[in-house]
Amino acid sequence: MTETLESIAQAMVAPGKGILAADESSGTIKKRFDAINVASTEENRRDYRELLFRTEEAMKNHISGVILYDETIRQKAKDGTPLVDLIKNAGSIPGIKVDAGAKPMAGFPGETVTEGLDGLRERLAEYYDLGARFAKWRAVIDIADGIPTNACIEANAEALARYAALCQEAKIVPIVEPEVLMDGTHTADRCFEVTEATLRAVFSRLALHNVNLEGTILKPNMIVSGKKCPTQAGVEEVAEKTIACFKRTVPAAIPGIVFLSGGQSDEDATAHLNAMNAIGGFPWKMSFSYGRALQAAPQKAWSGKAENVPAAQKAFLHRAKMNGLAALGKWESGLEKAA
Ligand code: 13P
């Protein structure tokens, strides 16, 4: 079959599968490694990611694609095999983070705009040659008193649309990620309001830039209460509000919505996704593109020691399997206790 944007996007949200976000920048992976007392050296980063990509059962059955960081897409496993080939051999699709991070937005204290458009056309061509078939760009929208402003939402939406258009020109499927942060004291209803405004702006800009929606994947936050909000929305409420918000704002032509975990606990991230799929009645696939909710457990189990690799792979397989079931609406909490 010839590879098209549409066929890649469909494969990214194949039933029961989701995406492993392993694209932590050098700064972020250092934070994760600090938490397990592991030095963030190039070799340790390679060894850790290699153990994930060699978890065959997880990769083959539950992981449709892996988002990589620039360093990782160029790295080789201990035996000399490119890490990209480990991913492909497991039947999974390599992807690449291409944004240069969220930077303070001039004139808008407390807000950020994501950079990285300069030279992106050339970088995408190189990443395609290195094997990437999809990309990721993350915009960050923070909620606090007086923010987000429309200026912040529009600037980020415009950058996402320009990024998406460049990706498609390069035959790479864009993952469009506008993340409304769950930090803060806001309610789930405020998260709904801000996410609705953000998604409206994003899809309006994607249309303006002639982005092919059938060849685009959306990576959003769920509608959750701020971490410090005294009243926390329950699993059913999160699922219902998230579906309602997306029905209002996300065109049916989008093949799939893959959520970020954003700081939710492992089990919450799984339970929320499962509840949405159990409710159903929406036109898109709903799956996962988790970083922390897939990797916190294996990172802890590994703790930088070669003898812990099997335990880490077991932990990764477990989370991948649980989230794969949640993508089908077939997870239940009893399966967690059995692990
Ligand atoms: P989390 O699931 O840890 O939020 O990471 C997903 C991601 O790729 C954020 O850009």
- Give the model confidence (pLDDT) of 48-65 as tens digits: 999 999 999 999 999 999
**What average pLDDT does this structure show over 306-332?**
98
Q: Which residue has the tokens 């790479």?
A: 172
Give residue 231's pLDDT. Answer: 97
At a CB cut-off of 8 Å and minimum separation 6, what does 158 contact? Answer: 205
219 has catalytic annotation: yes
Ligand 1 in reach of 21 Cβ (< 6 A) = yes
The mean pLDDT value for 188-204 works out to 98
User: What value does the mean pLDDT take over residues 240-260?
Assistant: 98
Q: What is the mean pLDDT of the chain?
A: 98
* Ligand 1 atom, smallest distance to 138 CA: 10
218 Cα–ligand 1 center, Å: 13
Region 292-315: mean pLDDT is: 98
Which atom of ligand 1 is the closest one to the Cα of 269? Answer: 2
* pLDDT 10s digits, 132-167: 999 999 999 999 999 999 999 999 999 999 999 999
Q: Kindly tell me if the per-residue pLDDT of 22 is higher than 90.
A: yes
Atom of ligand 1 nearest to the CA of 261: 2
Q: Is 177 tagged catalytic? A: yes
Residue 200's Cβ-count burial label (10 Å; 0-12, 13-18, 19+) is middle
3-state helix, strand, coil in the chain (%, to 5): 50, 15, 35
290 touches ligand 1 (CB under 6 Å): yes
pLDDT for 337 beyond 90: no
Distance CA 293, CA 289 (A): 9
Residue ID of nearest Cα to ligand 1 atom 9: 260
Residues of the chain with pLDDT > 70, as a percent, come to 99
Q: How confident is the model at residue 2 (pLDDT cuts 50, 70, 90)?
A: confident
Q: How far apart are the first and last CA of the chain?
A: 39
Q: What is the pLDDT of residues 65-124, one digit of tens each?
A: 999 999 999 999 999 999 999 999 999 999 999 999 999 999 999 999 999 999 999 999
274 pLDDT above the threshold of 70: yes
Is residue 102 classed as helix, strand or coil in its secondary structure? Answer: strand
Q: How far is the CA of 266 from the centre of ligand 1 (A)?
A: 12
| pLDDT at residue 269 greater than cutoff 70 | yes
Confidence tier at 16 by pLDDT (50, 70, 90): very high
Average pLDDT over residues 196-203: 99
Give SS3 for 256. strand
- Nearest CA, atom 10, ligand 1: 138
Whether 255 has a pLDDT exceeding 90, the answer reads: yes
Q: What is the pLDDT of residue 242?
A: 98
221 CA distance to ligand 1 middle (Å): 9
Q: Which listed residue (24, 111, 177, 179) is catalytic?
A: 177
* Nearest alpha carbon to residue 270 among 246, 293, 236, 238: 293
Q: Is the CB of 65 under 6 A from ligand 1?
A: no
Arithmetic mean of pLDDT, 308-335: 98
The pLDDT score that the predictor gives to residue 338 is 67
Domains of the chain: 5-328 (3.20.20.70)
Average pLDDT over residues 164-173: 98
Residue 1 — very low, low, confident or very high, per pLDDT cuts 50/70/90?
low
Query: Which amino acid makes up residue 194?
Result: V
In this predicted structure, the answer to whether residue 339 has a pLDDT above a threshold of 70 is no
- Residue 13 buriedness (CB in 10 A; 0-12 / 13-18 / 19+): buried
**Residue 152 and residue 103 in contact, taking contact as beta carbons nearer than 8 Å:** no
In short, whether 135's Cβ falls inside 6 Å of ligand 1 is no
Alpha carbon of 204 to ligand 1 centroid (Å):
24
Would strands 112-114 and 102-104 be described as parallel, antiparallel, or unpaired?
antiparallel
